[in-house]
């Protein structure tokens, strides 16, 4: 037991002595450390001076969805061949809406939208390449000098798709943040961070507009299809009713003043009158169902309200000079100390 205690005391004593030895060694290199810290602080100052500020464009908006797709008012007559299922937009609820903002389809449509930049109208994608300097210094050693991404392009080449993918990856990784303030509240934040103020603002507004339009179209797609079918059927039945009314008039003219004993000649008029009554009843029901379908479209159309939109000048984030000097000096000092420790450790082991 005493031997164990002595070994522990010896080990602790050796540890303290080694630490003192290392401390004296590091402080003996104070000149090197001082030069490194000053140099690091100076480099940090240069970095903060030349680093472009990042502009933050923030949009806040609310989405309200009644979720009444299954109410009694939506009971459209299935005998007319209508699709009476639930809303096709049911998957886009709550946090799932966030994925729309980060999807490649929505971002690509935004990048191929119009912006007035550098004195001309061009796509956001072309402006992105110019602002980031990718024309001359493209990532992954690619050549983007002659690449063109036109506004509202419907078909892209293999190379254009690759450029869009690289821009998309960069945006999602570093420049685009979409969040929901509270899972119980449908209020969303869309934040774009970019080195160009105009681009950040236009990108945020365009992406929000494209996503909300797509969201509304998905939510109301099925009900609008039902309304379209009803409108076509209503027009068809109305045409049949008009034809039947015209047939009644013609048959009446042909039997005017006819001998009452010749009833067989009145059959044509009776048939036309039956058609009129039947088409009138069908048209009445179709008009009623058409009005219900319009109510369905209104109920399934989500209400989207912009709460806050980006206003110039945008807030900017810039590395402060004092912060840059501190971190530059700290990093340089840490690296020099690490180098000195490794160097002495190697020398001692080689001896």
> At CA 288, angle to CA 287 and CA 294, rounded to 5?
85
Count Cα neighbours of 67 within 13 Å in the Cβ-side half-sphere. Answer: 7
222-270: pLDDT as tens digits: 777 777 777 777 777 777 777 767 766 665 655 544 445 444 455 556 6
Contact 296, 226 (CB under 8 A): yes
In this prediction, residues 286-308 reach a mean pLDDT of 77
Q: What are the structural domain ranges in the chain?
A: 2-50+320-350, 54-317
Q: How far apart are CA 284 and CA 238, in angstroms?
A: 10
Does position 331 have pLDDT exceeding 70, yes or no?
yes
User: In this predicted structure, what is the pLDDT of residue 81?
Assistant: 47
Cα-only R_g, the chain: 37
187-229: pLDDT as tens digits: 888 899 999 999 999 999 999 889 888 888 887 777 777 777 7
Burial call 130-168: b when 16+ CB within 10 Å, e when fewer:
bbbebeeebeeeeebeebebeeebeeeeeebeebbebbb
Closest by Cα among 83, 106, 314, 72 to 199: 314
User: In this predicted structure, what is the pLDDT of residue 185?
Assistant: 73
131-163: pLDDT as tens digits: 988 888 777 777 787 888 988 888 888 888 999
Q: How far apart are CA 25 and CA 132, in angstroms?
A: 46
The per-residue pLDDT of the chain, averaged, comes to 76
Q: Strands, DSSP E only, in the chain?
A: 54-64, 114-117, 120-123, 176-182, 185-194, 303-308, 316-317
Q: Is 114 exposed, middle or buried (0-12, 13-18, 19+ CB in 10 A)?
A: middle
Instruction: Look at 5 and 165; give whichever has higher pLDDT.
Output: 165
């Amino acid at each position: 037991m005493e031997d164990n205690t002595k070994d522990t005391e010896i080990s602790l004593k050796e540890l303290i002595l080694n630490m003192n030895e290392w401390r004296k060694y590091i402080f003996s290199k104070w000149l090197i450390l001082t030069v490194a810290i000053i140099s690091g602080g100076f480099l940090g100052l240069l970095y903060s001076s030349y680093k472009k500020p990042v502009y933050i464009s923030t949009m806040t908006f609310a989405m309200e969805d009644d979720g009444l797709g299954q109410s009694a008012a939506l009971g459209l007559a299935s005998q007319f061949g209508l699709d009476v299922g639930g809303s096709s937009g049911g998957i886009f609820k709550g946090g799932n809406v966030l994925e729309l903002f980060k999807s490649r389809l929505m971002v690509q449509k935004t990048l191929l939208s119009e912006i007035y930049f550098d004195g001309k109208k061009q796509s956001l994608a072309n402006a992105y390449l110019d602002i980031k300097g990718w024309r001359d210094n493209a990532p992954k050693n690619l050549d983007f000098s002659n690449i063109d991404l036109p506004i509202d392009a419907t078909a892209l080449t293999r190379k254009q798709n690759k450029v869009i993918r690289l821009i998309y990856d960069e945006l999602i990784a570093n420049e685009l943040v979409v969040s929901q303030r509270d899972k119980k509240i449908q209020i969303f934040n869309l934040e774009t961070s970019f080195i160009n103020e105009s681009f950040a603002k236009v990108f945020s507004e365009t992406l929000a507009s494209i996503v909300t339009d797509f969201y509304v179209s998905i939510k109301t797609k099925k009900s609008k299809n039902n309304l379209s079918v009803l409108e076509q059927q209503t027009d068809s039945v109305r045409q049949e009713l008009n034809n039947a009314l015209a047939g009644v008039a013609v048959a009446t003219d042909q039997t005017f003043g006819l001998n009452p004993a010749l009833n067989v000649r009145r059959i044509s008029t009776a048939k036309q009158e039956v058609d009129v009554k039947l088409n009138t009843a069908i048209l009445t029901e179709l008009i009623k169902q058409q009005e219900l379908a319009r109510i369905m479209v209104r109920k399934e159309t989500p209400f989207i309200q912009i709460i806050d939109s980006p206003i110039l000048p945008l807030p900017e984030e810039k590395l402060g000079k004092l912060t840059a000097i501190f971190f530059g000096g700290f990093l340089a000092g840490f690296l020099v100390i690490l180098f000195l420790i490794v160097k002495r450790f190697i020398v001692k082991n080689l001896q």
